[in-house]
Structure 1
Amino acid sequence: MSEPPLTQAQALARVDRLVHDTAAALTPKPRLELVASSVPFSACLDGGKSESQIVINRAYWLRDLPKSENMSIARQVRAFWERQGHVITSTGGWQVGHPSIGGESRPDGFVLALTWSAGDDLYLAATSPCVWPDDTIGTASGART
């Protein structure tokens, strides 16, 4: 029996949990500041999915961290994701002190990112797979909530 489709609300909860759990594992502890532009959902661009589906994304600046800790933070993020069983899909910028890490959560395939930005700031982000907007569950997807 297949799992029911993930709802928009469930995807949002999972995105937030992925970011917050990662931040909670870091030393020193960052203050998370929501990147406002990450709040609106986006169209699903997966060619095999319905154009009516969306992806949920959230990005958070890691605040109150010394810039000198960026490399340590990146190493901690990578280690935490690996301990959680997530797959590291890309890394970059390590040799110049501008670390970025891409990953995919297991078992559910959410995209994970730690990204360096100009100003020597880091942010954590997570993006859901394509999901049906909450107002279409049970109609467009053929599923019931």
Structure 2
Amino acid sequence: MSERHAIDRAEEIIHQAVDGMSPKPILKPVGNRTGPCIAWDDNRPDDRVQVHRSYQLTGVPGAEAKKLVRQARDAWVKQGYRFTSATADGDWADPFPSVNMRSKPDDFSVEALTGVVDRKTGDGLAAITVTSPCFLDVGSGKSSTTPSALRSTHNDERAERQVLAHSSRIYDALRAPHAPEQDDRPRTVQDADGTWLHHAWSTAPLTEDETFRAMKSAQEHLASAGWTVRHLKTRAGSSSIVARHADDDSIAQIAPSSTGAIRVAVTVPAAAVLRTDM
């Protein structure tokens, strides 16, 4: 798979959900990027990448947010996609439900959800996110160790401090030993949507009980530190964490792997870090 193919497929999945919606929303991009892979359930090389496409569904009344999520679910069901959320069809008694599915046959992760706008009225804001499987960019014409989506540039010191600070706090929360002999220096990458700092690393292999405690501790830390936390089911059935920090738009991904290690990746948009310093 190439990066271009992954982006085109992600956009196709998004439009499968949105094109037939009523009322018709306006797509506002909020998280479109290509970044290093977090290996959800395997132990293949870490030089793969993933495509993420995320849009808020704007231009419609807040009271319609839940309805838009239902319509996205119905459209994806017609495509034969399968549910991955713990409650397969979402908790529709919740004023802000979410739906998690995987595409067939190419296994893209798809999510439709609502965020809180006004709890008193039940108004929300719907969003759709699609994440590709991990892949080597076969369209780059380069070796697999330097995929075209990851073009190294000079590190921005403030962004690097920010990504390392987030990553260090997650490490402290996991309370698990760091895997030895891994190159976990932050990487500065550029794509069509901007410049990003990525920091990826993993713990040493853990037992099932240790993994459960570590993931629970990480979730509690993120929630208490102002991150918006979401859970995704991996193909192996374990639960991974994806979280967003509202202050600087950082994204954290924490996922158990089949080796027993917990893999962590933190992404900070360099421009957002610069704004917080102004």
TM-score by length of 1: 0.83
Q: Which residue of 2 aligns with 1:58?
A: 53
Distance across 1 between alignment mates of 2:91 and 2:115: 11
Cα offset, 1:96, TM superposition: 2.5
The alignment partner of 1:65 has SS state of coil
**Matching of residue 26 in structure 1 with residue 21 in structure 2:** yes
Query: Matches of 1:95 and 1:123 in 2, distance apart?
Result: 19
**What is the RMSD computed on CA atoms of the aligned residues?**
1.9
Partners of 1:76 and 1:84 lie apart in 2 by 13
1:52-111 Cα offsets, whole Å, 9 max, x none, are 001000100001111111222222111111101111212545213101110000110000
Equivalent of residue 34 in structure 2, options 35, 41, 48: 41
1:62–1:121 CA contact under 8 A, matched in 2: yes
Task: Name the SS of the counterpart of 1:109 in structure 2.
Answer: coil
Amino acid paired to 2:33: P
96-105 or 40-49, larger mean C-alpha shift: 40-49
For the 8 Å contact 1:78–1:88, the answer to whether it is kept is no
How many percent identity over aligned positions?
Answer: 25
Match of 2:100 in 1: 102
Aligned length in residues: 134
Query: Could you tell me which residue of structure 2 aligns to residue 81 of structure 1?
Result: 76
Deviates more, 1:91-100 or 1:74-83: 91-100
Deviates more, 1:16-25 or 1:121-130: 16-25
2:137 counterpart of 1:139? no
Conserved? CA contact 2:16–2:75, under 8 Å: no
Query: Per-residue CA shift, 1:17-38, capped at 9, x if unaligned?
Result: 1112211021111100100xx2
Which protein shows a greater Rg? 2
State how far apart, in whole Å, the 1-side matches of 2:129 and 2:135 are.
18
Structure 2 residue matching 1:21: 3-state secondary structure? helix
With CA pairs under 8 Å and 6+ residues apart, which has the higher RCO, 1 or 2?
1
The residue identity in structure 1 corresponding to 2:116 is: A
What TM-score do the two structures reach when normalised by structure 2? 0.45
Deviates more, 1:11-20 or 1:103-112: 11-20
Q: What secondary structure is seen at the aligned counterpart in 2 of 1:79?
A: helix
- Matched residue of 2:4: which SS? helix
What is the aligned partner in structure 2 of residue 3 from structure 1?
A: none
Shift of residue 136 of structure 1? 4.8
Question: Would the aligned equivalents of 2:27 and 2:55 in 1 still touch at CA under 8 Å?
Answer: yes
How far apart, in 2, do the equivalents of 1:137 and 1:22 lie? 33
| 8 Å Cα contact 1:61-1:122 kept in structure 2 | yes
> Given residue 44 of structure 1, which amino acid in structure 2 is its aligned partner?
C
Gapped regions of structure 1 (runs ≥ 5): 1-5
One-letter amino acid of the structure 1 residue matched with residue 134 of structure 2: C
**SS of structure 1 residue aligned to 2:54:** strand
Q: Aligned letter for 2:129?
A: A
Moved more, 83-92 or 10-19: 83-92
Please tell me whether the aligned partners of residues 101 and 111 of structure 2 are also in contact (alpha carbons under 8 angstroms): yes
Q: Partner of 1:130 in structure 2?
A: 134
CA deviation after TM superposition for structure 1 residue 42, in Å: 2.2
Aligned partners of 1:137 and 1:55: how far apart in 2? 18
Report SS of the residue matched to 1:118: strand
